[in-house]
Amino acid sequence: MNSAQKIALNTAVQLFGKAITVATSVLVIAYITRYLGVAGYGDYATIFAYLGIFGAILDLGLFVIVVREIAKYPAREREILGNMLGLKLAFSLAILGVACGLAGLIPYSAVVRQGILVGAISQLFMSLNQVPLGSFQAKLTMYKATLSDVLGRLLLLGLVWWFIHQGGGLVIMIWAVVWANVAVFGFNTLMMGLRYWLIPLFDWRQWWELLVAAFPMGVVMVLGVIYFKIDVLILGHLQNSYAVGIYSAPYKILEVLLAVPSIFMSSVLPVIATALQESREKAKQIFQSAFNFLSLSALPLIAGSLAVATPVMVLISGRDYALSGPVLQILSFSLASSFLNSAMIYTIIAANQQQRLIWPYVWAVVFNVVANLLVIPQFSFWGAAVITVLTELWVLVCSVYIVMKYLKLTVNLTVFSKTLAISIVMGIVLWWLRTWPVGWLVLVGAAVYVVLILITKTITRAEIVSLIPQLNRK
């Protein structure tokens, strides 16, 4: 099985699992948004936006660095992961302690402060879970993590359903997330135990080496999460929980969809990291294929969102969230930028050039914070949505520049151009049929898109077959 097939198989399994987790995630969003109401969901989103910033600090960029290091030095896997676990345990307790302490100084409501204290436990296990994931990703065996993720999401859905029927409040919903993340970490650790048990190691020299290697990526990730999450916190401070709820409901849907490029490019990362060392031509081919795949995934999402965003939000969250539809339409452009940017960012990381991303991300944060402070008082969540799109476009432009100038990789836009034209046609069809039920619109949109892709030969049968191990063996 060649590298392209491994990436395809690993991604296909994850996407199949992700289809299940997306379905359960949408159901969870539907339950929570309807049960808590717009303002209550705004508080829920505020809690996880706040903790998300500290979660990025906990990550330190270690995950992608560990994946890259295990791919390079597979014999050192146990040593690398053991030290990663020890480092994360120590660092997580310190950072989450600071997060909980600061929450007491910020003028949040009592329920939000209590939710932050409970949610910190969830953030701890999310951080520790990256240790077994590092091994799975480096070895392209993410089907193990996919299984755990599916089980965890199903558990979360069950807990949310049960707590709602028991009349629980906001904090009990946070506890549901905690137990789901504890379960996912437990499942992944058990699967690691089939080879060896994860034991935290405290080799200070190894810790220092990991921190030095991860620091540039850690800075980039922290900055990225700040500009991705800070608008929710600013919106809550300058407006109210209702505005946060209207904005965060579509934002949460986008976060679920952003798992697609993350899953795909995480599979590509160890392969392209090796290719960059061995063959520049092979690296170019992998990079181009990744960009093509993400183009095929991203562009129809914009067209679909522009046509059916409001019915989708009403279907998922109820009529109280009708205003979230136009917000989703705006945010869909940032989603497409994030998809395409994933190809750039992960390739930059694979080439060990992540330090070049620091200044673009610094300016992205500065622009995002200043612009949100200026526009949110007057334009509320509408302004926040537009600033998110502009920030993502800035990051995409900068990452493309880095890839072209320093990595000497260029992009053939043939597939992108064809996909853009096809997506526009699909969007027009959906807009014409916009009064139809959402389910039918989704089916029609998918059918139109697939037929046009095949007719225009945007991706050929040979390219599809080359990515499927079973067919390629015949």
Q: What does the pLDDT read at residue 12?
A: 64
pLDDT value of position 2:
52
Cβ distance 126 to 181 under 8 Å? yes
**pLDDT value at 117 more than 90:** yes
183-211 confidence digits (pLDDT tens): 999 998 888 776 677 788 888 888 888 88
Q: Which whole number is the average pLDDT over 231-237? A: 92
pLDDT of 473: 37
Q: Is the pLDDT of residue 246 over 90?
A: yes
The confidence score (pLDDT) of residue 199 equals: 85
Q: What's the whole-number mean pLDDT along residues 210-218?
A: 80
222-248: average pLDDT: 90
Mean model confidence pLDDT for the chain: 86
Q: For residues 360 and 389, what is the distance between their CA atoms, to the nearest angstrom?
A: 15
383 pLDDT more than 50 = yes
pLDDT for 228 equals 82
The pLDDT of residue 389: 94
- Does residue 466 register a pLDDT over 60? no
pLDDT given at position 213:
78
At 468, the pLDDT band (50, 70, 90 cuts) reads very low
According to the model, what pLDDT value does residue 219 have? 84
Residue 33 pLDDT class (50, 70, 90 cuts): very high
Q: How confident is the model at residue 363 (pLDDT cuts 50, 70, 90)?
A: very high
Of residues 283 and 173, which shows the higher confidence score? 173
> Is residue 17 pLDDT above 90, yes or no?
no
